[in-house]
Each structure stands twice: as C-alpha cells, then as structure tokens.
Structure 1
Amino acid sequence: MKQADLHTHTRASDGTCEPAENVRLAAEAGLAAVAITDHDTVAGISAALEAAAGRNIEVIPGVEISSAANGQDIHVLGYFIPFDDEAFQEKLRGLRETRHERNKLMIARLRELGIPITLESVYRRKKGEDKNIGRPHIAEELVELGVVGSIDEAFAKYLGREGAAYVNPPRITPQEAITLIKEAGGAAVLAHPGLYDDDDLVQELIAFGLDGIEVWHPDNDAAERERYRTWAEQHGLVMTGGSDFHGWRGEEPFHAMLGTHTAPVSAVERLREIAAMRKR
C-alpha cells in the first residue's frame, strides 16, 4: 500500500533542509506523498511543489499551527490549506510575532541565568525578513556556546516544559487553531498527542471538531497509538502519520527520518475530500 509522510519541516521554519531536499528524500523513500508542515508559515510550500514537478510524488500543502493549553504547547496540523491566500498568510504572521515575543522572553531568562546568549546571535541563523525562529535555533546557540552538549540537553535543562528558561506567553487556544484551519478551507489534525500527556484535552479537542489525529508519530508509544486509533475509529476521524522530520541535528535525523512514520494514501484522500468540501 502506498504511504505518505504527513509531517515534515524545512528551513522555512526550524528544519535544516531546503524544501526540495524533503521532496527528494520522500521520492527516494518510495512515498506517494509528502506534506510540508512548517511552524506557522507556508513559505516552503511553493519551492516543494516546484521540486516535485516531474517526479511521481505529491506535495501536500500544510502548516503546523502553534497554540497553548494548560500551560503547554499544543500543535494543530492543517492540510490542503490555501497557502497562497494573503488573508491566511496575514493570520500566520500574527502567530509568528507571538513566537518572536516568546523567543525574547526565553533569551532574557537565559541571560538571567548567566548564559551569554543574545537575540541577535540566535536570529543570525536565518536569512531574510521572515525570520521564523523557534526553540531549536536557541538550542543550537546553546550548543555552540558550550552551555550544553546537545539539542536534547538544551531542551531538558532550559527550553522544555520543565526547563529553567521555559516560558509560554499567551497564544491562541487549540480550539482557535482548529477553527482557523477549518475556516480557511483546510483539514485540522492534532499533532503528536502522545507528547501532551493530557488525554482529557485530546478528548476535548476531538469533541470540539478535529478532523483527524496523528496516530503514527515517533513520540507516540505503542499503547498510545492503539488508544488514538480506537478513538479515531469511534469518532470517524482521519488517522494520520508522519516522521516530524526536521533534518539533522549532528548526524542524527530529528525527530525521525523522513518516511519512517507514515499513513496510507487513503488518509490523504480523506483529508483532501474534507478540505474540498470546505472550499465549496
């Protein structure tokens, strides 16, 4: 059965690969489709579509919307979104501004802890006006400064939910993220629910109106996958899957290698149908 990796990132957000590289890796893995789902931006989609021309692979335009609930980040994936629509892009710009404010607060806290990190040193990592910077870029700077030995250590000690520099300023709710995607004509899927350790919230979002749930993800263990599969079947949700590929951190792929966590193409068709109905 043909498969699709429905969760990948590029340099448009916090991945290390150009969009064309994601397309190449997906084609080499024998996938039927790959989704470009950068954080709060659609800047990598056009280049991915161009790279797919002449290849036997579909690029699915997507986005991963940042929201917050119960003191932690909650991510909602949007598929078949209107990536070339200016009104939709304007809403995403507002989300990126919130991310920028969070970066400033986090870096300020790191400096309070005696770490000689600056906003300028982190933001030099991205070129252009649309500097979609996130925690992985701050983590890279901490590694370069010698404060930590790895990206994982940076998140464990400083940037993760229990980290000394973690901050989470007001963001849209996951319900608002779902609504944003659906009103734009896309299909809304809860990303990596296993990361949240909050099944009550997952059930609440299902009841609110999710179209799907990410069952196959490197951070969902076997018991979680089975639980989400059961809930999807009970509520008629699309079961999706993706590697959450962000390129490489050193020699290792992060979160997982593109193509190692996937969903059948039947999931793509269901997402396409949902989005098409909303655009009528």
Structure 2
Amino acid sequence: MQQNADLHTHTTASDGTCEPKENVRIAKEAGLAALAITDHDTVAGIAEAKEAGAVLGIEVIPGVEISSVARGQDIHVLGFFVPYEDASFQEKLVGLRETRHERNKLLINKLQELGIAIKLEDVYKRKQGTDKNIGRPHIAEELMELGVVNSIEEAFDKYLGKGGAAYVNPPRITPQEAITLIREAGGVAVLAHPGLYDDDELVKELIEFGLDGIEVFHPDNSQNQREVYRKWAEEFDLLVTGGSDFHGWRGEEPFHAMLGSHTVHADVVDSMREIANRRRK
C-alpha cells in the first residue's frame, strides 16, 4: 500500500463539487494513506470527512485554506491540524467568508459593466444549504451556462483571474495575519501554490515571517519552481508539502487536478502533527 498523502483538496463546503465523504472515497481508491480537507475559509466539511475516513481507514487531516491579499493579489495560506471544532476559531473564519461575499458582489458588478447578463442570485443558487460559501468557480460555471465562455479556464483567463477584465481585490487580511491566525490556533501554516503569485520576493518574506512549510508539489507550480521551492524549504528548514488542489469536476475534467495526482509521503503528516502538538501544550 502506498503511504502518500494529498494535502490540498476542496469539497462542497466551499467551491468543490464533491461531498467530503466522496473525497475520502476517491482517496481510498487512489491508495492514499491520508488526505487533507482544505476548504476556503471554512471547516464545515471536516466532520463528515473524518467520519468517512474512520470507516475507510484513511487519515483525514483537518485543514483550511485562508484567503488573504498582498500587493494587489490573492495569497492563500493553508492551515493544517486546525481546531475545527473550536467555536472561537470558527468565528474568526466567518469574517473571512463575509469578505468573500463582498468580493463576489464586486465581481458580478464588473461583469455586468462589461455587458454580461449575469446575476448574483443566479450564481448563489448553485450552492445548496444556508452557508453560501461561494467562490469564483461558481461564477465561472454561470458564465459557461450563459455561453460567455466555453470552459472554467477561459473564464479565469478572460474575466476572473489575476489580470482578467473583472478581477477585483477587496480589502482582506494579509498573509502574515493568516499565518498568525493559524499558528495561534495551534495549526501548521503552509503557503499554497507559490508558483501562481509570480512574486518570489513575497514568498521569501513570508518564509522569514514564520511559515512552517511551502507547497512544492502543486499542479500550477512548474518543474523549475518546484526545484527552487524545495531548495528554499531545505535552506529554511520548512516542511515540503503537496496536493492536487482537487475541486471535483467541472464538466468531464477534474479541477485543478485529480485527487491523488500530487502527493507527498505521509511522513510529512507526522511532522505536521508534531508541530501542532507542541503548539497546543
């Protein structure tokens, strides 16, 4: 049996299309030993995933992907072994989701200014339940349905991603504040997909500030970037993590990549657990 872990996956608790238990089932089929549930600014999917993991023999690492902003772009910080059942920690995430909602409204407004007949209420109908943790992929789906774009990738390239015609960035916490939030809660802070930011000076600043690790193996990191970030991890004694950033399926294709396609050895999970245990003593 493989002893690998996929440390970056999303569920219907945020902008994934699979229920948390489905992520666990896929991890089992992929022969993984562990996976992390790292939904955007919420821990709502973790309890269900852990229950499924107990049945299927898969370790589920409670995680979160916190949204922050630096130098005009989104910066995401992964938190592992976070206290997902703690009310005060959950409350801190509520404010982050409210900012996400404001960002969505601004995005829709800009799309409307571009002459696109998209409505906020139609986007929000795409997610069931009372906790409307809507992300840009939901907006991209609506753009596809309206015939504005042919794919999620095109929606991000033309409109929603950095440099897109409707890209917006409302005030959010800084990545330094995100790192502090995770560490003070007893979790482990890792910079998500650093290759996306095109700002290695910022990556270095965050390493010096107090990151515990860096996501080296991610579908959006080039081979050259992986080599650079692995070298920095060794130099600064950081954890080397990796994950697929699986969001389920958009059409017939997995988004961003198939669960289990980007992994690290499960020893990394043990190292994370040791850090988290030390912080909570």
Please give the range of the TM-score, normalised by the shorter of the 2 chains.
over 0.9
**1:21 alignment partner in structure 2:** 22
**2:147 alignment partner in structure 1:** 146
Which amino acid in structure 2 is aligned with residue 197 of structure 1? Answer: D
How far, CA to CA, are the matches of 2:55 and 2:47 in structure 1?
Answer: 15
Structure 1 residue 54, shift from structure 2 partner? 2.4
Structure 1 residue 266, shift from structure 2 partner? 1.2
Unaligned residue ranges in structure 2 (runs of 5+):
none
Which amino acid in structure 1 is aligned with residue 260 of structure 2? Answer: G
**1:164 alignment partner in structure 2:** 165
| Deviating more after overlay: 159-168 vs 47-56 | 47-56
**1:91 alignment partner in structure 2:** 92
CA deviations on 1:177-205 (whole Å, 9 max, x unpaired) are 00000001100000000001110000000
**1:72 alignment partner in structure 2:** 73
How far, CA to CA, are the matches of 1:199 and 1:40 in structure 2?
Answer: 24
How far, CA to CA, are the matches of 1:224 and 1:34 in structure 2?
Answer: 23
How far, CA to CA, are the matches of 1:170 and 1:11 in structure 2?
Answer: 25
CA deviations on 1:216-237 (whole Å, 9 max, x unpaired) are 1111111111111100001110
**1:81 alignment partner in structure 2:** 82
How far, CA to CA, are the matches of 2:34 and 2:150 in structure 1?
Answer: 36
For these two proteins, the number of residue pairs brought into alignment is 280
**1:50 alignment partner in structure 2:** 51
Unaligned residue ranges in structure 1 (runs of 5+):
none
Compute the TM-score of the two structures, normalised by the length of structure 1.
Answer: 0.99
**2:261 alignment partner in structure 1:** 260
**1:207 alignment partner in structure 2:** 208
Structure 1 residue 52, shift from structure 2 partner? 1.2
Structure 1 residue 2, shift from structure 2 partner? 1.1
Which amino acid in structure 2 is aligned with residue 229 of structure 1? Answer: R
**1:36 alignment partner in structure 2:** 37
CA deviations on 1:130-189 (whole Å, 9 max, x unpaired) are 100011101000000011111111111111111111100101000000000000110000
Which amino acid in structure 2 is aligned with residue 132 of structure 1? Answer: N
Q: Secondary structure at the match of 2:49?
A: helix
Compute the TM-score of the two structures, normalised by the length of structure 2.
Answer: 0.99
Which amino acid in structure 2 is aligned with residue 201 of structure 1? Answer: L
Q: Secondary structure at the match of 1:54?
A: helix
CA deviations on 1:214-257 (whole Å, 9 max, x unpaired) are 01111111111111110000111000000000001111111110
How far, CA to CA, are the matches of 1:54 and 1:120 in structure 2?
Answer: 38
Structure 1 residue 265, shift from structure 2 partner? 1.0
**1:59 alignment partner in structure 2:** 60
